[in-house]
Structure 1
């Protein structure tokens, strides 16, 4: 099993670091979106304050006759203006001027600009060269005359730059504080549990058979808790699967060890059975062929069990089989024909045939009948009805065989895993291999093996279709 902690190329940036950087970046983006209109609003307020102060100075100069020039200069210096003009109707006059200003490069009319125009104008101010002269026009509040103020935009630009620096510093502080709070919260709620999940998966991958490496789900009722419980279930299922595969591997190893010796013993038994052929006793002559066939099947079974542990059963070699004769042979091998306590019935029409592999179908019936026999023998009470029946019928190209008994039936706890190796046995000491092998052999014929719900006892239904006919090949053979 591969290592989940395989290093990747390049420096490793943890999820927490990415989260922290992304949080800072998103907060800064939000601050930029806030800064753009705020810097425009700062510029408008600064211009409005400058015009308001200049309007106050203009009112003092306009209402006071013979204002000394020195006082005018002091008023201009206090309001950071170069000149103030006053217009009443069509008449305009210069109220004060510190020095002849340079050419006015931009005219700003307060109160008649949109938010977009304010934003554009704010960034133009930040990008302008120092010393640019602007004129501000507006009507003082509550008055009909207009006051124009001419001033150097450098002071406004410096104020906006200082404001921007303050906003940037405040944004950085807010971003870092917010990011740390979000980071700590998300790290506690998400990053640490996800890291715990990743660590649990890596530890389990190192040794899946160690139960101590399985994750213990927390009591969380959110998606993280669901992931922990799903991981725990997956690890348990994987551990069970590995244990089952290990048992299968051990079974294959054990069978391979005894297979050689068992084949030698069966070969010796075959030699003794060959000698029995020369015995003239009618009873011996009757049973010798059955013994020979049983020994031949036993030799084949040793190879078949070994093949099951390795890869699977051999493909079926189909022949036409007399169903009644095959079922009778199974009953004789199990001793059902001479068992006084168990009634054995073969309910098959005379001459009914099935298209199947004789040895494989024999094994299927033998496994099912042996299981039924063991179930019937589990209760020795004289009043218990002990009956085992093999019934068959044909419907078109499909043959249906039912093996039923009057035993205790199949427990509910094993019905879901009935045809799985080592899990489908409802009997103490059983392996569950018989039903698993039988189901595999029936599926190889294109059929199915199912448990029927018939009430008392257990009934297994075998459905095997005839081989499909390749009409195209048949036509080509006929035309050839």
Structure 2
């Protein structure tokens, strides 16, 4: 209503100015008709008739201007001196608005002179004197009518706008709010995801964004619920498996005393594998507490650890396998790391490389190189496989989202990245294309570059 009234004010001011001009022109036209009647009678009219003509015209006197001559045609006593003169022959809009405002603001009844030519090109210029009191009353009545009509229009417009806004905006927004409230009560329920129906573009975009958000959140909550259930099951299996492997470890210890040379050579590897399996079970139980245990850092030679990883991976190769291993690890290179966790990281990377090459059915090579610089030790694991697909690159180190092969669950790289971060280092995809894939592990040498947990482990570890 306020906006409509403001618009009406912009219309009201020029309307009142126009009304004043029409009022004065009407008086000039009547005065012109009266003067023509007087001229037609050779200026011989009686005083009562003259007074009646002036009263009908609403003026005090009438002066005709023709050929620079002024002729008083009709006259009567003027009650007051002439206050101002207004020329209506070619007034500008701002002049009309200014004069109309002065009339409305001046409450005194003044006498003014008005000059104009109501009948264009008639050769006559009319000059009359009138009072401003009647003009002001007429203008006030006209303004009251305009304001009343404006108020009615404002109320009707505001009502229609209210109905339109309520139907087109408030109702859809209320629907969105109700959906959000209902969804908040049970975000796991996919049936509570909003179905976009708004016809207004902006609201439809908001509903689409909300539907996408709710769908993603519902999926994430379901995945977390399944992961929680899976974690409980894995914890139970790991607990029982640890007991079984402990028994197997005792048997493997006895095998070391066997007189069979082949058994004696295989026994240490079997004991090492069983020990790692037991440690993995214990780590799985610790992972059920929402985090990997901090690494137990110590100085270790990298080459034997890499060789052990490759030897274990060779056991998984078929006899006719064409996968080759190239090791470029300096024999004297030592790093500061948790041997069990670093073994798991390298084993995951090498296993992924082997599976990628085997999936192609063609010969391939897995290369493991290592070195150091002033800031860190680095380990590079590369293969000549087909490279990673685009989908795998987007969530490469996200659990259950970054599987690089068909049937993979994307957990190995996520665990590996977490283990390396626990050392204060980084695991990154260095290269992937049609010629193969390379991962780079960087382990910092500086104590300040590691995480607080790693630093604590360093202080208490054997290294």
Q: Does the pair score TM above 0.5?
A: yes
**256-265 vs 361-370, which moves further:** 256-265
- Could you tell me which of 381, 397, 403 is aligned with 1:425? 403
Question: Is 2:87 aligned against 1:80?
Answer: no
Matches within 5 A, 1:156-195: 156-176=135-155, 178=157, 193-195=172-174
- Give 1:33's aligned residue: 10
State the TM-score, normalized to the length of structure 1: 0.74
Query: What is the deviation of 1:437?
Result: 0.6
- Give 1:364's aligned residue: 345
State the TM-score, normalized to the length of structure 2: 0.76
Rate the CA distance shift 1:352–1:179 in 2: closer, same or farther, 3 A. farther
Query: What is the deviation of 1:117?
Result: 3.3
Rate the CA distance shift 1:410–1:126 in 2: closer, same or farther, 3 A. closer
Rate the CA distance shift 1:68–1:219 in 2: closer, same or farther, 3 A. closer
Question: Is 2:371 aligned against 1:391?
Answer: no
Question: Is 2:443 aligned against 1:462?
Answer: no
Matches within 5 A, 1:19-418: 24-61=1-38, 64-81=42-59, 83-86=60-63, 95-97=74-76, 101-104=78-81, 106-111=83-88, 113-129=91-107, 132-138=109-115, 140=117, 142-143=122-123, 147-151=127-131, 153-176=132-155, 178=157, 193-217=172-196, 222-258=201-237, 260-269=239-248, 286-287=265-266, 289-334=268-313, 336=315, 340-342=319-321, 345-351=325-331, 353=333, 355=335, 356-371=337-352, 389-394=366-371, 396=373, 398-404=377-383, 414-418=392-396
Distance 1:468 1:184 in 2: 69
**389-398 vs 71-80, which moves further:** 389-398
Cα distance per residue 1:147-174 (max 9 Å; x no partner): 33233x3322232123223322433444
Query: What is the deviation of 1:435?
Result: 2.0
Query: What is the deviation of 1:68?
Result: 2.2
**Structure 2: 5+ residue runs without aligned partners?**
450-463
Distance 2:317 2:106 in 1: 116
Query: What is the deviation of 1:114?
Result: 3.8
Q: Residue 397 of structure 2: SS of its match in structure 1?
A: coil
**Structure 1: 5+ residue runs without aligned partners?**
1-23, 472-480
- Give 1:434's aligned residue: 412
Rate the CA distance shift 1:462–1:320 in 2: closer, same or farther, 3 A. farther
Rate the CA distance shift 1:340–1:324 in 2: closer, same or farther, 3 A. farther
Cα distance per residue 1:159-217 (max 9 Å; x no partner): 21232233224334444555566666666665555554444444433332222222334
Rate the CA distance shift 1:431–1:349 in 2: closer, same or farther, 3 A. closer
CA contact (8 A) 1:415 1:424 kept: yes
Q: Residue 424 of structure 1: SS of its match in structure 2?
A: coil
